[in-house]
Amino acid sequence: MDLSSLVRKYCAVTKDNPLNIKQRFGKAVRRRRRELDLSQEELAERAELHRTYLSDIERGEGNPSLEIIEKLANALDISVVSLFCDYKIDQKKGEAIPET
């Protein structure tokens, strides 16, 4: 199988799949961080996290605990509820995630 066939096959498989919860949460954190004009380092310091762990979370690769989610919400000056509701983490199937 050539590279273009592999790419077409991959895109067909992933095109309609919604982002998983970790990816949606990461996008919400990144969006809110950018709204506040904070660097990852600044947010990590506020939340008492390592910057590379924050980067993992924003990319949807980290799996933050409830305590970490609360630390991030506090550091982002937003409630946990608002972070989940206002940034559309609870995505319905087929619903688009807003880009920033």
Question: DSSP letter at 59?
Answer: T
In tens, the pLDDT along 26-38 reads 999 999 999 999 9
* Whole-angstrom distance, CA of residue 82 vs CA of residue 28: 10
Which letter does DSSP use for residue 88 in this model?
A: T
Instruction: Report how far residue 88's alpha carbon sits from residue 98's, in angstroms, rounded to the nearest whole number.
Output: 8
Contacts of residue 15, Cβ cutoff 8 Å, sequence gap at least 6? none
In this prediction the pTM is 0.73
- The one-letter amino acid at 95: E
What does the pLDDT read at residue 7?
A: 47
- Model confidence over 49-92: pLDDT tens digits? 999 999 999 999 999 999 999 999 999 999 999 998 887 776 55
- Work out the number of other CB atoms within 10 angstroms of the CB of residue 73: 20
CA distance 69 to 63: 10
Nearest to 63 by CA among 26, 97, 96: 26
